[in-house]
């Protein structure tokens, strides 16, 4: 009985104290200020993040390049031997590339992030798509378990990974819009599949051509990996139907590469060579556009089998 009384007293005391505090708050006799206030930026009703500003000439006919600084926010990316963080290096490299492009005055530029903030991969690609970009470049710093691994590498999407591009493109166009200027409306399934596949191949070929130009223009400035051009299924490139590439500027895991990427003078040279490659690439695409669209090879037998008489 004594134990039960002690238990009831111990339980009733904090309950009574809480009731007194609650009554005081309700009566306005106490004013308790919170020690911390957390404010969260919520997405808009459409679930889309805001688009970044477009910098450069106010002429909307100028080509638009979207530069994506990899990682950011709570995602630091890879780390260097001296504590370097990939997200910091990529932002510095992306900003240097932006400055070089704006100095030339020939193209417009937008950055997926210009501060230390986190973006999911789909958001990065979506920014380029919603802005109708002409070229998307994602900047990263590579890492390897072998400390001697070093050099820059340019990645483009592989055939296997770009299958999802064809699916996304076909769904988005819904056979009622156009692919590379050719309408898909009123076309049979076989014709639509051919046009989408041709668009995918053209995108992949253009991306690879851009990689070739980066290597060519940077050979005297950038120390490239012994295999400077590679193809891989990077998520940030998979959902794009425009020319795109991921540039690993060097290995953050390599002491010399990490120090080089932190050097402002080197970043300026790096950005200058990439800018030259960008401008040559865009000039080639404009020249090709002026020459007119290439004829679309269609297997008439396949079409007839699908569409019928």
User: In the numeric block, which tokens belong to residue 256?
Assistant: 């010399």
Buried-state track 22-43, b at ≥16 Cβ within 10 A, e below 16: eeeeeeeeeeeeeeeeeeeeee
pLDDT score of 234: 78
Over the stretch 109-128, which tens digit does the pLDDT of each residue have? 999 999 999 999 889 989 99
Share of the chain above pLDDT 90, in %: 52
Average the pLDDT over each of 33-37, 146-150, 212-216 and give the range with the smallest value.
33-37
207 closest CA partner among 179, 162, 164, 244: 244
Q: Which domains does the chain have, with CATH numbers?
A: 64-164+205-290 (3.40.630.40)
**What is the model's pLDDT at position 145?**
87
Q: What is the pTM of this model?
A: 0.71
For residue range 34-81, what is the model confidence (pLDDT) as tens digits? 566 666 555 554 578 899 999 999 999 999 999 999 999 999 999 999
Residue with tokens 């805001």: 50
Residue indicated by tokens 């260097």: 80
Q: Which of 141, 139, 150 is nearest to 86 (CA)?
A: 141
DSSP 16-49: HHHHHHHHHHHTT---PPPS---------TTS-P
Least confident span in 141-150, 269-278, 296-305: 296-305
Residue 23 half-sphere exposure toward CB, CA atoms < 13 A = 6
Tell me the mean pLDDT in the region 88-93. Answer: 98
- pLDDT at residue number 194: 56
Dist. CA 169–CA 178, nearest whole Å: 10
Q: State the pLDDT at residue 184.
A: 44
Burial environment of residue 269 by CB neighbours within 10 A (0 to 12, 13 to 18, 19 or more):
middle
Residues 6+ apart with CB under 8 A from 308: none
- DSSP for residue 101: H
Q: What is the pLDDT of residue 76?
A: 93
Residues in the chain: 309
pLDDT above 70 for 33:
no
* pLDDT score of 269 more than 90: yes
């Amino acid at each position: 009985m004594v134990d039960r009384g002690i238990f009831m007293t111990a339980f009733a005391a904090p309950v009574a104290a809480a009731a007194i505090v609650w009554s005081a708050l309700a009566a306005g006799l106490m004013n308790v200020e919170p020690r911390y206030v957390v404010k969260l930026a919520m997405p808009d009703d459409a679930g889309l993040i805001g688009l970044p500003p477009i910098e450069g000439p106010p002429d909307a006919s100028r080509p638009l390049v979207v530069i994506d600084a990899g990682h950011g926010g709570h995602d630091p990316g890879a780390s260097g031997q001296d504590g370097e963080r990939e997200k910091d290096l990529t932002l510095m490299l992306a900003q240097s590339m932006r400055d070089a492009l704006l100095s030339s005055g020939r193209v417009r530029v937008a950055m997926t992030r210009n501060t230390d903030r986190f973006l999911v991969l789909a958001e990065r690609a979506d920014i380029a798509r919603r802005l109708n970009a002409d070229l998307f470049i994602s900047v990263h710093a590579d890492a390897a378990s072998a400390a001697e691994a070093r050099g820059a590498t340019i990645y483009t999407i592989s055939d296997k990974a770009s299958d999802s591009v064809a699916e996304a493109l076909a769904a988005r166009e819904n056979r009622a819009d156009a692919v590379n200027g050719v309408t898909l409306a009123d076309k049979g399934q076989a014709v639509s599949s051919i046009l989408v596949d041709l668009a995918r191949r053209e995108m992949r070929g253009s991306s690879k051509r851009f990689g070739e130009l980066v290597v060519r223009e940077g050979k005297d400035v950038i120390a490239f990996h012994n295999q400077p051009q590679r193809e891989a299924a990077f998520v940030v490139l998979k959902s794009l139907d425009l020319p795109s590439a991921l540039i690993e500027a060097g290995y953050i895991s390599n002491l010399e590469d990490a120090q080089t990427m932190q050097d402002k003078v080197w970043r300026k040279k790096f950005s200058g060579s990439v800018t030259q490659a960008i401008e040559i690439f865009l000039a080639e695409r404009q020249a090709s556009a002026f020459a007119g669209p290439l004829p679309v090879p269609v297997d008439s037998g396949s079409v007839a089998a699908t569409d019928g008489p």
